Structure 1
Amino acid sequence: MAASTETPEPWYLALLGFAEHFRTSSPPKIRLCVHCLQAVFQFKPPPRVEARTHLQLGSVLYRHTKNSELAQTHLEKAWFISQQISQFEDVKFEAASILSEFYCQQNLVDSAKPVLRKAIQISQQTPYWHCRLLFQLAQLHTLEKDLVSACDLLGVGAEYARVMGSEYTRSLFLLSKGMLLLMERKLSEVHPLLTLCGTIVENWQGNPIQKESLRVFFLVLQVTHYLDAGQVKSVKPCLKQLQQCIQTISTLHDDEILPTNPAALFHWLPKEHMCVLVYLVTVMHSMQAGYLEKAQKYTDKALMQLEKLKMLDNSPILSTFQVILLEHIIMCRLVTGHKATALQEISQVCQLCQQSPRLFTNHAAQLHTLLGLYCISVNCMDNAEAQFTAALQMTTHQELWTFIVTNLASVYIREGNRHQELYSLLERINPDHNFPVRRFLRETLKMSNAEDLNRLTACSLVLLGHIFFVLGNHRESNNMVVPAMQLASKIPDMSVQLWSSALLKDLNKACGNTMDAHEAAQMHQNFSQQLLQDHIAACSLPEHNLISWTDGLPPVQFQPQNGPTTSLAGLL
C-alpha cells in the first residue's frame, strides 16, 4: 500500500525503526540498516518520503561505507527531488550540505560549489540553513586558498545575521573574516574589524557560554596577531584575559535552552577544544618569549587533553592542534639539547600526516624544516641542505620562507666553503647586505629587550661578545657574555650555554684569571658531554633515517641504525 497521506504509514515507521536500531547497534550493522532503508522504495512512497530516504541512505553510505558511487547517487537524488517540494527545507538543505561535503571529500570541488551556491540562493527565508551554507562555502574557498572569495561570503553572512537580528552569529561571521584577514596579512583591514568585534561582543547580552566563547575567539585572534608581530611582552594582558576567560567557561554549565532566533543556532568550538586552543597559544607565547620549560609544561597538558578527546571525537581539528603543538615542542627540544626526543616527536608528526593527506599538504614544509634543524643539530649538513631545499619548494608563506632561507644560510656558513651560494642567498633575503654588523646587533638587542624575547637577546649578546673578543676588547666582551650565559641558563638554551662557556674560558685565560678560566672550562666540558651523549642516542634511533627523506609521503617504517655516522667534532 502506497503512503499517500500526511500521517506516516506503519510499514514506513517499522522500517525506519529497524534501520535506526541496526545503525546504533554496537557494533553498527550497517548492511542491515541499508537493506531496511532500501526496502522503503518497494512501497512506491510519495516524493517527501522518497527524498528523505535517499538522504538517509546517502548519509549512511557516505559516513559508514566505502561505497562512494552509491552514496553519490542517493545524495544527488535527494537534492534533486527535494528541490521540487515546497515546505521541505530541512531535507533540501541538509541534502545540499552533505552532497557538497561528499564532493569535496572526492576532490570534486567544482561540483560542490554550484550546489552550495544554489542552496544559498534559495535558503534566504530559512536563517539557520542560509548561515550554515554560507559558512560551508566560505570554508570550501578557504581550503582552496581563495581567501578573497571566502572573506566576501563571510561579509555577506555578517550583514544577513545583522538583518536577522542575531548579533551573536554576526560576530561569528566577522571574527571568521578577521581570522582570514590575519592569514592574508591584511593588517590595515584587521584592526578596524577587531575593534568592531570587540565592541559587539562586549555589548551583547545573551547566553553566558555563547558570550564567553565569542570572547575566546576574539582574544585568540588578538593574541596571535601580537605574536605574529613578535610582541610577546605587549600581548601579556590579552593572554591573561584569554586564560581567565577559559577558566570562566569551564565553570559554566551548558544551557539546554536553545536560542529562539534560528540564525543563532551555532557554536564556534566545543569547550574542550577551546581549552586545548588556549594551551596552544600559551605554548606559542612561552616559546617566543624563551620560557621553554613553561612551554613544555603546557604542551604536556594539552597533549594529555588531546589524547582523551581523540578517544571520543575524530574531529580533524584535534589532529591539527596536535601537529602544531608537536612542531613547537620539537623546536624546544632542539634548543634545550634533547635531540633524541625531538626526533621521536618528528616521527609522531610523520605518522599523523600519514593518516591525513590534507594535514600533510598543510604541514609538509614545516616537517622538512624541522628535519633540517635536527640535521644541523647532529652536524649532518648535506642532509640539512636537502631538507631546507625540499621545504622551500613546498611553501609560499613569507615568514616560513625567510626562516628556512636564514637557516640554509647558516648551513653554508658552517660548511665554510660555500661563499658563492651564501652571497646569492643573502641577496634574496636582503639585497643590501653590506650593513654595519655591530650597529644592527645592538638594534636587535634593543628590540628583543623591549619585548622580552629572551632567546634573541641571549644570541645577540653572545655574538656581540664574540665580536668584541676577536677585536681584543675583553672588557666589553665580558659585559656581553656573562648576561648571555645567565639568560641561556634560564631558558635553557644548550647551544648558547656551550658557546658562552667556551668564550668565558678564552676570555678569562686571556685576562690571566686562571681560576675563572678553569671553572668555565669545566662548565664547557659538562655541556659538551651532555650534547655528545644525546647526539649518540639520537643518531642510533631508527628514526634517524628520516634525514634522507625529501620527497613524497614520509616513510612509515625505519631501518635500525648501527650508531652515529656523523662527526661529533662539528657539534662543538
Structure 2
Amino acid sequence: MAAAGAEAPDSWYLALLGFAEHFRTSSPPKIRLCVHCLQAVFQFKPPQRVEARTHLQLGSVLYHHTKNSELAGKHLEKAWLISQQIAQFEDVKFEAASLLSELYCEQNLVDSAKPLLRKAIQISQQTPYWHCRLLFQLAQLHTLEKDLVSACDLLGVGAEYARVVGSEYTRALFLLSKGMLLLMERKLQEVHPLLTLCGQIVETWQGNPIQKESLRVFFLVLQVTHYLDAGQVKSVKPCLKQLQQCIQTISTLHDDEILPSNSADLFHWLPKEHMCVLVYLVTVMHSMQAGYLEKAQKYTDKALMQLEKLKMLDCSPILSSFQVILLEHIIMCRLVTGHKATALQEISQVCQLCQQSPRLFSNHAAQLHTLLGLYCISVNCMDNAEAQFTTALRLTTHQELWAFIVTNLASVYIREGNRHQELYSLLERINPDHNFPVSSHCLRAAAFYIRGLLSFFQGRYNEAKRFLRETLKMSNAEDLNRLTACSLVLLGHIFYVLGNHRESNNMVVPAMQLASKIPDMSVQLWSSALLKDLNKACGNSMDAHEAAQMHQNFSQQLLQDHIAACSLPEHNLITWTEGLPPVQIQAPNGPTTSLASLL
C-alpha cells in the first residue's frame, strides 16, 4: 500500500495511510480499522490523484480480505473512472482495471470484464509491463470460457508486442502459452514450428538464470506432455530426463532481486515450488503410462507432501488442479495393483476437492465418472460401470479421454456378452485399422487389444492372435508394459485352448514376470491360474501346486480388498451420475456385488 509521496505531502494523508498499513499488516490483520482509516481520507476532500489511489486501496483491501465484493467493486470502479482523467497515472489506472475485471469474473459478469480489459489494453500500449499483463489476463479469461481461438490470437499479439519492445523473455512466455493452448486444441501442425521457435528463443536468451531455467521448464513440460498425449512413452524419456535435470538446477539457484531493466520482463511463469510439483506430476503421468506403478506411487507421495505444505501458505487454484490430477493417476495405479478400497477413498477425496470449486468440477467431472467406471469394473458392477462411462462420455469433449472411455466401455460390453449392437457400434468408432480418432500410440495399441479380446470371446482365435500381435508390436516399441503383459497372458490363454502348451508357457511366464514387476494383480491372478492348468496338463505336479498356491494367495488378497471396498460408505458413489458429487454418502448394507470374476 504505497504512499502517494510528493503527490500528497499533507501530514493528515500520510498519517492515515500509515495507520491503515499498520492495521492491514497486523497479526492478525485488523481489516475493519484499516478500512476506517482509508475511508477517513475522503473527509479531507483530497485531490483527484489521492482520491483515485485511495479508492484503489480500499477496493483491493475489501476484495482480498472481506466478502463485501459489492463495495469492493464500487471503489474499484471509481478508481478506474477517476484515474482515466489523470495523465501519467498508469499504475493506479491499470491495477484498478485488472482487479475490477477479476472481481467481475468471480461474480460471473464476464461480459463486463471483457470490454474493461480491452479498453485497458488499448490505452496501455506505452506501458509495456501493464500492456503485457492485461493481454495475459484477457487471454486467460478466454481460455476459462473455452474460447481458445481468441486466447491464441491475443497471445500472438502479445508475442509480437514483446518482440517490438525488445523483451525476448516475455515473447517466449507468450509463445509457450500459445503452444500450450494449441496442444489443448490438438492443432499439432501449428504446435511443431511454434515449439521449434520457442526452443531457439529459450536457448539464445541471456538473462536472469532463474527466468531462463523456468522458460526451459515450461518448454520441456510442453514437449513431454505432447509425447505423453501421443502415447509415446519410450520416445519421451530424453525430454523427461532433461526436465528433471532442469528442475534440479533451478532448486540450486538463488532468486536474483535485481529487477530487469526492461519492465516487460517483470513476469514469472510459476514459482519454483510449483514447478517442482509440476515436474513430479509429469513424471507420475509417464510412470503410469509406462506401467512403472511403484515409481508412480513414489513420485505421487513426494508431490502430495509438497502440495500439502504449499497449500498451508498459498491458496492458488493451480495447486488444487495439480492435486486432483495426481490423485486421478494414483487412483488408476491402485485399481491395477489391487488396492480398490484405497482407490475408492481417494475418489471420494477428489469429489470433496471438486465440491469446493465449480471450475475444478467442470474440468474434471468426466475424469471422475471415468475413475468410478474403472472402479465398478474392478468390483464387477458392470451395469454401474456402463452408467459411469456413459455419463463421462456425455461430459467430455477431450478426444483422448473419449477414446479411453470408449475402449473401457467396449471391455464392459464384451464381458457382459449380450450387448452386440452397442459393442459393434463402439468398435466401429475406435477401429485401429481404419481412421482411428486420435493420434495416441498407446490408445491405438489398446484398441487392438480390445479387438483381440472380443475375437477370443467369440472363439475366432486366429483373428485374436493377429490383433494381439499388433498390440505387442506397438507396446514393445514404446515400452507400454501393462498392455504387453495383458496381451501376453491373453495369447497364452489362446494357445492353451488350442492345445499348444509349449507356446502357451512361452507367453504366460513372461506375462507373469512383467505383471509382478508392475505389479498388476489381475494379470498375476490370470497368469497363475493358467500356469496351474498348464503344469497340470504337462504332468508337472510340483509346479502346478506352486502355481495353485500363488493363485490362491492372489485370490484371497483381491477378495479381502473387494469386501473392504464394497463395505465402505463411499461405495455408494457408483450410483451417482447426475450433477455435483453427493456430500453425504450412506453406508451400503455390506458388499452386494458378485465375486465370481475374482475367483
TM tier, smaller = over 0.9
**Residue range with higher mean Cα deviation, 72-81 or 290-299:** 72-81
Q: Residues 206-255 of structure 1: CA distance to partner in whole angstroms, max 9, x if unpaired?
A: 11111111111111111111111111111111111111111111111101
| Alignment check: 8 A CA contact 1:426 1:433 kept | no
- CA drift of 1:509 comes to 2.5
**Residue range with higher mean Cα deviation, 438-447 or 176-185:** 438-447
Once residues 44 and 236 of structure 1 are traced to their aligned partners in structure 2, the CA distance between those partners, rounded to angstroms, is: 66
Once residues 89 and 286 of structure 1 are traced to their aligned partners in structure 2, the CA distance between those partners, rounded to angstroms, is: 48
Secondary structure of the residue aligned to 1:361 is helix
**Residue range with higher mean Cα deviation, 255-264 or 34-43:** 34-43
Secondary structure of the residue aligned to 1:393 is helix
Q: Residues 20-50 of structure 1: CA distance to partner in whole angstroms, max 9, x if unpaired?
A: 2222222222222222212211111111111
| Alignment check: 8 A CA contact 2:8 2:50 kept | no
Q: Residues 410-435 of structure 1: CA distance to partner in whole angstroms, max 9, x if unpaired?
A: 11222222223222322333398999
Alignment of 1:112-511 (within 5 A): 112-430=113-431, 438-511=465-538
- CA drift of 1:324 comes to 0.4
- CA drift of 1:382 comes to 1.7
In the superposition, relative to structure 1, how do residues 44 and 457 fare at CA in structure 2: closer, same or farther (>3 Å)?
same
- CA drift of 1:90 comes to 0.2
In the superposition, relative to structure 1, how do residues 404 and 329 fare at CA in structure 2: closer, same or farther (>3 Å)?
same
Once residues 332 and 217 of structure 1 are traced to their aligned partners in structure 2, the CA distance between those partners, rounded to angstroms, is: 27
Q: Residues 292-349 of structure 1: CA distance to partner in whole angstroms, max 9, x if unpaired?
A: 0000000000000000011111111111000000000000000000001111111111
Q: Residues 370-427 of structure 1: CA distance to partner in whole angstroms, max 9, x if unpaired?
A: 0111111111112111111111111111111111112112112222222232223223
Q: Residues 498-528 of structure 1: CA distance to partner in whole angstroms, max 9, x if unpaired?
A: 1111122222233333322222211111110
- CA drift of 1:128 comes to 0.3
| Alignment check: 8 A CA contact 1:3 1:46 kept | no
**Residue range with higher mean Cα deviation, 135-144 or 67-76:** 67-76
Once residues 125 and 434 of structure 1 are traced to their aligned partners in structure 2, the CA distance between those partners, rounded to angstroms, is: 51
Once residues 196 and 431 of structure 1 are traced to their aligned partners in structure 2, the CA distance between those partners, rounded to angstroms, is: 33
| Alignment check: 8 A CA contact 1:353 1:359 kept | yes
- CA drift of 1:194 comes to 0.9
Once residues 506 and 372 of structure 1 are traced to their aligned partners in structure 2, the CA distance between those partners, rounded to angstroms, is: 32
**Residue range with higher mean Cα deviation, 62-71 or 346-355:** 62-71
- CA drift of 1:559 comes to 2.0
Once residues 212 and 284 of structure 2 are traced to their aligned partners in structure 1, the CA distance between those partners, rounded to angstroms, is: 25
- CA drift of 1:164 comes to 0.9
Correspondence for 2:462: none
Once residues 55 and 119 of structure 2 are traced to their aligned partners in structure 1, the CA distance between those partners, rounded to angstroms, is: 20
In the superposition, relative to structure 1, how do residues 274 and 433 fare at CA in structure 2: closer, same or farther (>3 Å)?
closer
In the superposition, relative to structure 1, how do residues 436 and 122 fare at CA in structure 2: closer, same or farther (>3 Å)?
closer
| Alignment check: 8 A CA contact 1:182 1:190 kept | yes
- CA drift of 1:75 comes to 1.2
Q: If the length of structure 1 is used for normalisation, what is the TM-score?
A: 0.97
Once residues 454 and 23 of structure 1 are traced to their aligned partners in structure 2, the CA distance between those partners, rounded to angstroms, is: 56
In the superposition, relative to structure 1, how do residues 120 and 139 fare at CA in structure 2: closer, same or farther (>3 Å)?
same
**Residue range with higher mean Cα deviation, 512-521 or 459-468:** 512-521
In the superposition, relative to structure 1, how do residues 480 and 50 fare at CA in structure 2: closer, same or farther (>3 Å)?
same
Once residues 180 and 491 of structure 2 are traced to their aligned partners in structure 1, the CA distance between those partners, rounded to angstroms, is: 39
Q: Residues 457-480 of structure 1: CA distance to partner in whole angstroms, max 9, x if unpaired?
A: 111111222222223332222221
- CA drift of 1:4 comes to 13
Once residues 435 and 34 of structure 1 are traced to their aligned partners in structure 2, the CA distance between those partners, rounded to angstroms, is: 61
In the superposition, relative to structure 1, how do residues 364 and 173 fare at CA in structure 2: closer, same or farther (>3 Å)?
same
Once residues 519 and 568 of structure 2 are traced to their aligned partners in structure 1, the CA distance between those partners, rounded to angstroms, is: 25
- CA drift of 1:5 comes to 8.4
- CA drift of 1:492 comes to 0.3
- CA drift of 1:182 comes to 0.8
| Alignment check: 8 A CA contact 1:100 1:113 kept | yes
In the superposition, relative to structure 1, how do residues 28 and 467 fare at CA in structure 2: closer, same or farther (>3 Å)?
same
In the superposition, relative to structure 1, how do residues 83 and 406 fare at CA in structure 2: closer, same or farther (>3 Å)?
same
- CA drift of 1:567 comes to 1.3
Secondary structure of the residue aligned to 1:22 is helix
In the superposition, relative to structure 1, how do residues 330 and 436 fare at CA in structure 2: closer, same or farther (>3 Å)?
closer
Once residues 326 and 473 of structure 2 are traced to their aligned partners in structure 1, the CA distance between those partners, rounded to angstroms, is: 30
| Alignment check: 8 A CA contact 1:427 1:433 kept | no
Once residues 9 and 175 of structure 1 are traced to their aligned partners in structure 2, the CA distance between those partners, rounded to angstroms, is: 47
| Alignment check: 8 A CA contact 2:175 2:198 kept | yes
**Residue range with higher mean Cα deviation, 374-383 or 329-338:** 374-383
**Residue range with higher mean Cα deviation, 212-221 or 64-73:** 64-73
In the superposition, relative to structure 1, how do residues 353 and 436 fare at CA in structure 2: closer, same or farther (>3 Å)?
closer
| Alignment check: 8 A CA contact 1:4 1:45 kept | no
Once residues 436 and 319 of structure 1 are traced to their aligned partners in structure 2, the CA distance between those partners, rounded to angstroms, is: 31
- CA drift of 1:189 comes to 1.0
Once residues 180 and 285 of structure 1 are traced to their aligned partners in structure 2, the CA distance between those partners, rounded to angstroms, is: 21
Once residues 107 and 63 of structure 1 are traced to their aligned partners in structure 2, the CA distance between those partners, rounded to angstroms, is: 17
| Alignment check: 8 A CA contact 2:430 2:436 kept | no
- CA drift of 1:489 comes to 0.5
| Alignment check: 8 A CA contact 1:505 1:516 kept | yes
Once residues 230 and 437 of structure 2 are traced to their aligned partners in structure 1, the CA distance between those partners, rounded to angstroms, is: 24
Once residues 486 and 507 of structure 1 are traced to their aligned partners in structure 2, the CA distance between those partners, rounded to angstroms, is: 16
Q: Residues 152-171 of structure 1: CA distance to partner in whole angstroms, max 9, x if unpaired?
A: 11111111111111111111
Once residues 262 and 4 of structure 2 are traced to their aligned partners in structure 1, the CA distance between those partners, rounded to angstroms, is: 34
Once residues 124 and 277 of structure 2 are traced to their aligned partners in structure 1, the CA distance between those partners, rounded to angstroms, is: 35
| Alignment check: 8 A CA contact 2:284 2:296 kept | yes
Once residues 206 and 330 of structure 1 are traced to their aligned partners in structure 2, the CA distance between those partners, rounded to angstroms, is: 41
What's the Cα RMSD here?
2.3
**Residue range with higher mean Cα deviation, 405-414 or 470-479:** 470-479
Secondary structure of the residue aligned to 2:415 is helix
In the superposition, relative to structure 1, how do residues 76 and 186 fare at CA in structure 2: closer, same or farther (>3 Å)?
same
Q: Residues 94-136 of structure 1: CA distance to partner in whole angstroms, max 9, x if unpaired?
A: 0110011111111111111101111111101000000000100
Once residues 70 and 532 of structure 2 are traced to their aligned partners in structure 1, the CA distance between those partners, rounded to angstroms, is: 72
| Alignment check: 8 A CA contact 2:399 2:437 kept | no
- CA drift of 1:436 comes to 20
Q: If the length of structure 2 is used for normalisation, what is the TM-score?
A: 0.92
Once residues 386 and 12 of structure 2 are traced to their aligned partners in structure 1, the CA distance between those partners, rounded to angstroms, is: 69
In the superposition, relative to structure 1, how do residues 126 and 5 fare at CA in structure 2: closer, same or farther (>3 Å)?
closer
| Alignment check: 8 A CA contact 1:412 1:418 kept | yes
Identity of aligned residues (%): 93
| Alignment check: 8 A CA contact 1:377 1:571 kept | no
Correspondence for 1:532: 559
In the superposition, relative to structure 1, how do residues 78 and 479 fare at CA in structure 2: closer, same or farther (>3 Å)?
same
Once residues 7 and 385 of structure 1 are traced to their aligned partners in structure 2, the CA distance between those partners, rounded to angstroms, is: 69
Gaps of 5+ in 2: 439-464
Once residues 137 and 101 of structure 1 are traced to their aligned partners in structure 2, the CA distance between those partners, rounded to angstroms, is: 10
Once residues 406 and 412 of structure 1 are traced to their aligned partners in structure 2, the CA distance between those partners, rounded to angstroms, is: 10
Once residues 494 and 108 of structure 1 are traced to their aligned partners in structure 2, the CA distance between those partners, rounded to angstroms, is: 51
- CA drift of 1:6 comes to 3.2
Q: Residues 65-108 of structure 1: CA distance to partner in whole angstroms, max 9, x if unpaired?
A: 22222121111111111111110000000011001111111111
Once residues 367 and 221 of structure 1 are traced to their aligned partners in structure 2, the CA distance between those partners, rounded to angstroms, is: 24
| Alignment check: 8 A CA contact 1:4 1:46 kept | no
Secondary structure of the residue aligned to 2:5 is coil
In the superposition, relative to structure 1, how do residues 508 and 431 fare at CA in structure 2: closer, same or farther (>3 Å)?
closer
Once residues 3 and 419 of structure 1 are traced to their aligned partners in structure 2, the CA distance between those partners, rounded to angstroms, is: 75
Gaps of 5+ in 1: none
Once residues 270 and 96 of structure 1 are traced to their aligned partners in structure 2, the CA distance between those partners, rounded to angstroms, is: 25
| Alignment check: 8 A CA contact 2:341 2:561 kept | yes
